[in-house]
Copies of this chain bind each other. A is one copy, B any other.
Amino acid sequence: MLPKTMTVIEAREPGGPEVLVPAERPVPVPGPGEVLIDVKAAGINRPDVLQRQGLYPAPKGASDILGMEIAGKVVALGPSPGAARFREGDLVCALVTGGGYAEFCAAPEAVTLPVPQGLSLIEAAALPEAVFTVWHNVFERGALKPGDWLLVHGGASGIGTTAIQMAAALGAKVIVTVGSDEKAQACVRLGALRAVNYRAEDFVEAVRESTGGHGANVILDMVGGDYIERDLKAAALEGHIVQIAFLKGSKVDIDLMRLMLRRLTLTGSTLRVQSLEAKARMAKAIEERIWPLVVEGKFKPVIDSTFMLADAAKAHRRIDNPAHIGKIVLEVD
Query: Copy number of this protein in the oligomer?
Result: 2
- Tell me, in angstroms, the Cα distance from A255 to B250 when the chains sit together: 5
CA distance A266 to B232 in the complex (A): 12
B residues in contact with A63, CB < 8 Å: none
Task: Tell whether A244 is near chain B: CB-to-CB under 8 Å.
Answer: yes
Q: Which residues of B contact A259 (CB under 8 A)?
A: 243, 266-268
The B-contacting residues of A in range 168-191, CB under 8 angstroms, are none
Does A270 have its Cβ within 8 Å of any Cβ on chain B?
A: yes
CB contact list, A242-298 vs B, under 8 A: 243-244, 246, 250-257, 259-261, 263-270, 273-274
Chain B CB count within 10 A is highest, among A141, A243, A259, for: A259
Interface residues as binary, A135-155 with B (CB distance below 8 Å gives 1, 0 otherwise):
000000100000000000000
Tell me whether B270 and A243 are in contact (CB under 8 A): no
Q: Is the CB of A263 within 8 A of B252?
A: no
- Hey, which chain B residues are within 8 Å of A134, CB to CB? none
Q: Is the CB of A267 within 8 A of B266?
A: yes
B243-A252 in contact (CB<8A): no
Inter-chain contacts of A269 with B (CB < 8 A): 260, 263
Q: A252's contact among B141, B253, B264, B268, by CB below 8 Å, is which?
A: B253
Q: How far is the CB of A240 from chain B (nearest CB, A)?
A: 9
Chain A contributes a number of interface residues (CB within 8 A of B) equal to 27
Task: List B contacts of A274 (CB < 8 A).
Answer: 263
> Is the pair B260, A244 in contact by a Cβ cutoff of 8 Å?
yes
Contacts of A264 in B (CB 8 A): 267-268
- A99 in contact (CB, < 8 A): no
Q: Chain B residues with Cβ under 8 A from A251's Cβ? A: 253-256
| Interface residue? A224 (CB, 8 A) | yes
Cβ–Cβ contact A266 & B266, under 8 A? yes
Q: Any chain B CB within 8 A of the CB of A228?
A: yes
Once A263-B267, A263-B269, A267-B263 are accepted as A-B contacts, the answer to whether A250 and B256 lie under 8 Å apart by CB is: yes
* B265/A256 in contact, CB under 8 A: no
The answer to whether A256 and B252 have CB atoms under 8 Å apart is yes
Is the Cβ of A268 less than 8 Å from the Cβ of B256?
yes
Q: 1/0 contact trace for A217-240 toward B, CB 8 Å?
A: 000000010001000000000000
Alpha-carbon distance A265/B142, docked complex (angstroms): 11
Query: What chain B residues lie within 8 Å of A253 (beta carbons)?
Result: 251-253
A256 contacts B270, C-beta separation under 8 Å: no
B256 pairs with A263, CB closer than 8 A = no
Our pick among B263, B267, B270 for the contact of A268 (Cβ within 8 Å) is B263
Q: Out of B246, B255, B260, B261, which one reaches A256, CB within 8 Å?
A: B246
List the interface of chain A (C-beta within 8 A of B). 141, 224, 228, 243-244, 246, 250-257, 259-261, 263-270, 273-274
- Interface CB pairs A-B, < 8 A, 19: A141-B265, A228-B256, A243-B256, A244-B260, A246-B257, A250-B255, A250-B257, A252-B253, A252-B254, A256-B268, A259-B266, A259-B267, A260-B268, A260-B270, A263-B269, A263-B270, A264-B267, A266-B266, A266-B267
